[in-house]
């Protein structure tokens, strides 16, 4: 997807979204940008040191899933999730396999189909990326006043009825106690 395509898509979505949602999005964008760069770019540094492209990084994070028992994916499904071509995702996966972060395995249901599965080394990298991100956000949270933290907790807590968010939260809480 070209930059101009992204801008066109963003303009289309903005036209379909009301002003209140746009304001919420603007505030979230400011917060996420601040959080992403708060720890002086440590998360970016880990990504750079891994030598992975953005497509490889996104694929690895998806392959890593939320638990130790992550599922295997077809390359075409990964490509669809991230809006890239199958050949582009196939090249990204080839790089992950070469770095021993993922492996291609036979689909037990159809031997003609090859699936991509994360390796232990790949899972370790995913865990490092998540830990670095978590550490940066914890450092930021420590700078908040008690009143700011209570307000933020209340706002985030109101989103915990969404399965996608609650599942991620439960996984993160479980991995902290492990």
* Cα–Cα distance, 21 to 24 (Å, whole number): 5
93-121 pLDDT, tens digit each: 999 999 999 999 988 888 888 899 999 99
Domain spanning 46-123: CATH 1.10.10.10: yes
pLDDT digits (tens, 9 = 90+) for 29-84: 899 888 888 888 888 888 899 999 999 999 999 999 875 567 899 999 999 999 99
Model confidence band, residue 149 (pLDDT cutoffs 50, 70, 90): very high
- Rounded CA-CA distance 89/81 in Å is 10
What percentage of the chain has pLDDT greater than the value 90? 52
- The mean predicted confidence, pLDDT, of the chain is 87
pTM, to two decimals: 0.78
Q: Count other C-beta atoms under 10 Å from residue 118's C-beta.
A: 25
DSSP line for 113-167: EEEEEE-HHHHHHHHHHHHHHHHHHHHHHHTS-HHHHHHHHHHHHTTTTSHHHHH
Pick from 97, 10, 103, 92: nearest CA to 58:
92
Q: Which of 139, 138, 117, 113 is nearest to 60 (CA)?
A: 117
List pLDDT tens digits, range 4-43: 666 666 666 667 888 899 898 899 889 988 888 888 888 8
Q: Where are the domains of the chain?
A: 1-38, 46-123
């Amino acid at each position: 997807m070209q930059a101009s395509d992204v801008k066109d898509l963003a303009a289309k979505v903005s036209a379909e979204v009301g002003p209140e949602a746009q304001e919420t999005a603007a505030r979230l964008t400011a917060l996420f940008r601040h959080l992403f760069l708060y720890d002086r770019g440590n998360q970016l540094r880990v990504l750079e040191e891994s030598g992975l492209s953005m497509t490889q990084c996104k694929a690895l994070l998806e392959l890593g899933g939320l638990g130790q028992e992550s599922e295997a994916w077809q390359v075409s499904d990964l490509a669809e999730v991230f809006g890239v071509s199958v050949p582009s995702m196939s090249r990204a996966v080839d790089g992950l396999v070469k770095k021993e972060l993922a492996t291609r395995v036979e689909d037990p249901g159809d031997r003609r189909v090859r699936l991509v599965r994360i390796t232990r080394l790949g899972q370790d990298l995913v865990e490092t990326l998540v830990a670095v991100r978590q550490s940066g956000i914890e450092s930021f949270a420590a700078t908040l006043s008690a009143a700011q933290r209570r307000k933020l907790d209340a706002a985030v807590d109101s989103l915990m009825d969404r399965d996608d968010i609650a599942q991620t939260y439960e996984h993160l809480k479980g991995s902290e106690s492990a």
